[in-house]
Structure 1
Amino acid sequence: MTPAEFRTARKSLGLTGEEIAVYLGYGSKTRVSAVENGETVPTQTAIIMQYLLITPRDQWIKCP
């Protein structure tokens, strides 16, 4: 998954940088911004994003 694909996936999920940071276990949206601006997307992050894209939102694990 490229940084552009990551950003497109986040937007298609209707999530802000802060919201996706919670689902990915990042401490803040700073890491999300770094990935969207060109850092390599970690494999584990790509897998989670793909899961979120194919799973209905009501079946996602609830995050605080």
Structure 2
Amino acid sequence: QKKVAVKVTSEEELLELRRQAVNNSLPHALIRDAGMTELPPGTITVLGIGPAKTEIIDEVTGDLKLL
């Protein structure tokens, strides 16, 4: 399956994408850092969305810049 990485500018934007994933019934996972490196424990670092049809995921992520 195809995998694409896109970029957001804030945690708020990432959480909004999660809300959109929920509203579109998309499977997703919000990843929080364990704090073993530079980031404080609990820092949200990644939102994985899918698997799902590309068209549906694009409705949520289509206007984001590729990483």
For normalisation by structure 1, the TM-score amounts to 0.35
Larger Cα-atom Rg: 2
- Which one has a larger percent helix, Structure 1 or Structure 2? 1
For normalisation by structure 2, the TM-score amounts to 0.34
- Which one has a larger percent strand, Structure 1 or Structure 2? 2
